[in-house]
Structure 1
Amino acid sequence: MNKKPSFYGVMYFINIAIFSGVYFFLFNDSFSQPLSYPVSLYFSVVTATTLGFGDVIPSLDKDFLLLTISFEVVLGVVIIGLFLNSISQKLSDQKDHQVKLERIQETEQWMSQAMGMLRPVIELELRTLSQYYKFTSLEEKGKFDVSPEIHFTNEYYKQIVSINYFAKFHYANGSEFMFAYFFRENERFQDKLEKFLYKYAHAIPMETLVRLNRIQDHHFLQFPTMAKQMHLIIKQQKSFPEWPKDYPMQSDGMKEMNLTTCENFHSLLLETIKEIDTYTSDEPVLLKIDLSNNILPGVGCARQ
């Protein structure tokens, strides 16, 4: 077990003090001249440090004394070695810690930059989701900004998943199927998310990367595409199909599956929004709802 350098430093001085006492009390008459305690301490220091000046000479016929001196020399060398190794280890640990801190700071900088670039991409999808809410709402409540975490409720999921993709909303200069609008908006979102991943995939954690890939390819984003394909198939059979009489109704099982898919997509989106809010210093990401009927398309137009 590696100890701090101070531990071995204390052990070294304790070693010197103990052996100085041994020389003074047990071997005082075994040297070329009687030892005072300061001299025995001096001899212990010289011995432990392997300096060996030769001014204090032990009797060579005292075997136990010679063994004691040899033991102190070996013990002193070992403690010094451990002391130096501990210092080296401490310096290495400090360097590793500094490198680790620099890597963490670099990672945090990359994440902050990446989340800053991801924010407008996610906000683009939130604008699309706000349109889902507006098109399926029956009440005109004006404008409000709300936290997605608060707004994404079971009632919200049930409302937007009931959207009629085959309804048309009318602009000032034309009209468009719901599925065409959402198909186009989803393609924009997926394209921008793809560009973000291409540039920042190396800078974000694997968990975030997997989640964003799941969002990009999520089945919820395919609902308008499926509606478009259904419309084309039915249009081949009838020139001007009408909703709902010319379209097959969804089964209860299909509605439940669509609701589960919707909830899963929003939960992935919420995790990403929380991560963005963690790394960006701007205002928290909000869902901006505009239920003003004077702005086309109007409130509840998807229920026509």
Structure 2
Amino acid sequence: MKEKYHKELVSESGVRLVHFFAGQKPHVYGVLYFANILIFSIIYCLTPGGFKQEIGLGVALYFSVVTATTLGYGDITPVLTDSAMPMLVSLQVLIGISLIGLFLNSLSYRLSEQKEKVIQAIEESIKEEQISKALMMLRPVLGPGLRTLAQLYKFTARNEAPEYDVRPKEFLNEDFARQINQMVYYNVHKYANHAAPMHKVFIDENNKFLAGLDKYLVTFSHSLPVSILVMLTNLGQHRYFTIAEMYRASHLYVLEQGGKNYPEDFPLPGGNFDQVNQDVILDFISQFLTVIEEIDKRNPTDPVVMTVSLRNNILPGVGAGLYPTP
């Protein structure tokens, strides 16, 4: 066990050493290589009797270059009977060869690193393009959800106004949540030819939105990062979608108990229930806005907008979800 641990430690140290030398910039080894030539040329010049002929600094520099590059012309010969000179020359050759090897290795390492960065940048660009395209396909999926929120706003508004477009982040706020929390889902949703309880209408609208979201996730899950997939999954599982269902269950219970007259026989929300619902709505629109922000971030020139219509000429009218109905 100790032997294995020792081998692993030595191997790890070796890897760190390799990364240290390879991680240095090529010009560092270039500077060291020329320093090797200069330093040894000075040593050769200051070594009396080291050569068979007298040499000056210029000749010593020439000999140092020839030695470091392993050319070895032989026109200048050190005195080999003195053990110091063979050791000096051999040491310079070893240092020179080592520095050339380290220089080439560092250069290869840098080129490989640059290549990996380019490849990574290309891959990230392709991935980002895939995400952008997938999020663009999410826009029509969010449309029914925004229309439902706009309907809730219309049916809880007290004043008629023209139709207008607005950025969701400027509209879906605490005041919006407070207003639509007044929605009475027992009220009758009147159409031109028929009528239905409002909870049924909004349950149907929510189900259409959720079905579109589920289909989208099945189709584009491979193109989206996990963070966005989690965001969309949480949005589709939000408690907000149970609000209309709670009113439907209450409505059926009243009918089973023999109640018929609205609003006398139907319970109206209030107190803590109202606050819980408002908090749920606030959390839902916050998550909805986060999803829209992801889309707008990738397409800032064409942001997501929602249409708000406060016109009474389209049934049901403004305030149709309030009690008493105006």
TM-score bin, normalised by smaller chain: over 0.9
Partner residue, 1:116: 136
- Deviations along 1:225-253, one digit per CA (max 9) or x if unpaired, are 22222222222222x62332212233411
Q: 1:254 aligns with which of 250, 266, 273?
A: 273
Amino acid at match of 1:7: V
CA distance in 2, matches of 1:225, 1:209: 26
Partner residue, 2:263: 244
TM-score by length of 2: 0.88
How far 1:281 moved relative to its partner?
4.8
Is residue 123–residue 285 contact of structure 1 (8 Å, CA) maintained in 2? Answer: no
Q: Say which structure, 1 or 2, has more relative contact order (CA 8 Å, 6+ apart).
A: 1
Partner residue, 1:82: 102
- Deviations along 1:124-166, one digit per CA (max 9) or x if unpaired, are 2111100000011110011111222221232211110111111
Amino acid at match of 2:105: N
How far 1:282 moved relative to its partner?
4.6
Aligned positions of 1:153-302 closer than 5 A: 153-238=173-258, 241-302=260-321
CA distance in 1, matches of 2:178, 2:92: 84
CA distance in 2, matches of 1:103, 1:57: 58
Partner residue, 1:4: 25
Aligned positions of 1:27-38 closer than 5 A: 27=48, 29-38=49-58
Partner residue, 1:45: 65
Partner residue, 2:156: 136
Amino acid at match of 1:107: K
Is residue 189–residue 201 contact of structure 2 (8 Å, CA) maintained in 1? Answer: no
How far 1:30 moved relative to its partner?
2.1
Q: Percent identity?
A: 38
Is residue 136–residue 300 contact of structure 1 (8 Å, CA) maintained in 2? Answer: yes
CA distance in 2, matches of 1:34, 1:241: 124
- Deviations along 1:188-207, one digit per CA (max 9) or x if unpaired, are 11111111111222322222
CA distance in 1, matches of 2:174, 2:234: 21
* Segment drifting more, 268-277 vs 17-26: 17-26
Is residue 115–residue 280 contact of structure 1 (8 Å, CA) maintained in 2? Answer: no
Partner residue, 2:44: 23
How far 1:97 moved relative to its partner?
0.4
How far 1:61 moved relative to its partner?
1.5
How far 1:56 moved relative to its partner?
2.3
* Segment drifting more, 194-203 vs 160-169: 194-203
User: What SS does structure 1 have at the residue aligned with 2:71?
Assistant: coil
Gap regions ≥5 residues in structure 1: none
User: What SS does structure 2 have at the residue aligned with 1:288?
Assistant: strand
Amino acid at match of 1:255: D
CA distance in 2, matches of 1:247, 1:166: 8
CA distance in 1, matches of 2:235, 2:261: 33
Partner residue, 1:14: 35
CA distance in 2, matches of 1:265, 1:30: 87
User: What SS does structure 2 have at the residue aligned with 1:145?
Assistant: strand
Aligned positions of 1:66-77 closer than 5 A: 66-77=86-97
Gap regions ≥5 residues in structure 2: 1-19
* Segment drifting more, 45-54 vs 271-280: 45-54
